[in-house]
């Protein structure tokens, strides 16, 4: 499940990290692509005004989306594109026209992970082989979770759910699981297909994480082949 967070970034000295609470903005900030924040000079001295400078933050409307004026006490910024260094500045101006120093923050915008869907075909439990001869296995031995996304970034956590149809019995990892760091978490899962004639489809839904950035879910679709029944053997005299 995705969670949306709103950060109120202030220029005070106290730092808090509670959800929905004010946090003090330092010289650096790391955010996820497409995330938005309200930046506010707080407290603002009576009679003072504020000036913001986003000239080092890229192109307005492309790299970031600004809501509010650059002379407002608070502005809202959505960071749209990936970057290691978008620069945002702010300063106060007294009622007498005296100009304070710039407070400069370098914002790193990380990508949300993007992972392609995957598929595999398995034998029913106990009927596969891992002898290296190319025969079909009966566990998810080759389905380690994606550790690199489409942009080459390292995926470090996964949320996993599984949908198992009627007639199939799954054994293996405890699911659902949230934020596991074990890339082999489902590697030994097995499925017993009670049908001797029809394939069955099992679907894992996996949500990848890169640090605090949560990507869109991807799927691992498993085709479980029909169970091979014990043969019926006849005999006759010779």
Q: Would you list the domain boundaries of the chain? A: 7-110, 118-224
Residue-wise pLDDT for 67-118, tens only, equals 999 999 999 999 999 898 999 999 999 999 999 999 999 999 988 899 999 8
Chain position carrying tokens 């915008």? 109
Burial, 59: exposed, middle or buried (Cβ in 10 Å; 0-12, 13-18, 19+)? exposed
Contact (CB, 8 A) for 222 and 211: no
Could you tell me how many residues make up the chain? Answer: 238
Please tell me the least confidently modeled range out of 10-19, 44-53, 98-107, 122-131.
Answer: 10-19
Q: Other C-beta atoms within 10 Å of 189: how many? A: 22
Instruction: Give which of 98, 111, 137, 129 is closest to 212, Cα–Cα.
Output: 111
Instruction: Say yes or no: do domains 7-110 and 118-224 share a fold.
Output: yes
Distance CA 204, CA 156 (A): 18
Structure tokens belonging to residue 68: 């509010």
Confidence of residue 161 (pLDDT cuts 50, 70, 90): very high
Q: What is the pLDDT, as a whole number, of residue 6?
A: 40
229 or 11, higher pLDDT: 229
Percentage of the chain beyond pLDDT 90 is 58
Sheet strands side by side (includes 74-79): 22-24, 7-10, 36-40, 74-79, 64-67
Q: Other C-beta atoms within 10 Å of 52: how many? A: 21
Please tell me the least confidently modeled range out of 18-27, 109-118, 120-129.
Answer: 18-27
89 or 143, higher pLDDT: 89
First to last CA, the chain: 68
Confidence of residue 190 (pLDDT cuts 50, 70, 90): confident
Instruction: Specify the CATH architecture of the domain 118-224.
Output: Sandwich (2.60)
What's the predicted TM-score (pTM) here?
0.68
CA 21 vs CA 2, 8, 83, 133, 143: distances in Å: 19, 7, 26, 58, 40
Residue 12 has pLDDT above 60, yes or no: no
Instruction: Give which of 88, 81, 80 is closest to 36, Cα–Cα.
Output: 80
Chain position carrying tokens 């990892």? 173
Structure tokens belonging to residue 234: 């006849």
CATH no. for 7-110: 2.60.40.10
Mean pLDDT of 166-185: 93
What's the chain's average pLDDT?
85
Q: What is the pLDDT, as a whole number, of residue 79?
A: 95
Residue 51 has pLDDT above 70, yes or no: yes
């Amino acid at each position: 499940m995705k969670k949306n967070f709103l950060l109120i970034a202030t220029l005070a000295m106290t730092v808090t990290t509670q959800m929905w609470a004010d946090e003090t903005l330092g010289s650096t900030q790391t955010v996820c692509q497409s995330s938005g924040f309200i930046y506010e000079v707080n407290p603002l001295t009576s009679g003072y005004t504020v000036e913001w400078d986003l000239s080092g933050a890229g192109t307005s409307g492309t790299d970031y989306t600004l809501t509010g004026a650059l002379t407002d006490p608070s502005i809202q910024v959505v960071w749209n594109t990936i970057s290691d260094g978008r620069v945002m500045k702010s300063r106060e101006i007294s009622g007498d026209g005296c100009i304070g120093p710039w407070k400069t923050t370098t914002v790193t915008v990380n990508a949300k992970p993007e992972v392609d869907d995957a598929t595999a075909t398995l034998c029913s439990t106990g009927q596969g082989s891992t002898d290296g001869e190319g025969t079909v296995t009966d566990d998810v031995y080759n389905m380690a979770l994606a550790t690199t996304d489409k942009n080459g970034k390292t995926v470090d956590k996964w949320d996993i759910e599984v949908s198992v149809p009627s007639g199939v019995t799954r054994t293996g990892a405890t699911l659902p699981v949230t934020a596991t760091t074990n890339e082999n978490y489902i590697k030994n899962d097995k499925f017993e297909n009670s049908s001797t004639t029809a394939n069955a489809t099992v679907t894992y839904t996996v949500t990848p994480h890169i640090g605090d950035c949560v990507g869109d879910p991807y799927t691992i679709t498993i085709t479980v082949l029909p169970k091979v029944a014990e043969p019926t053997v006849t005999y006759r005299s010779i």
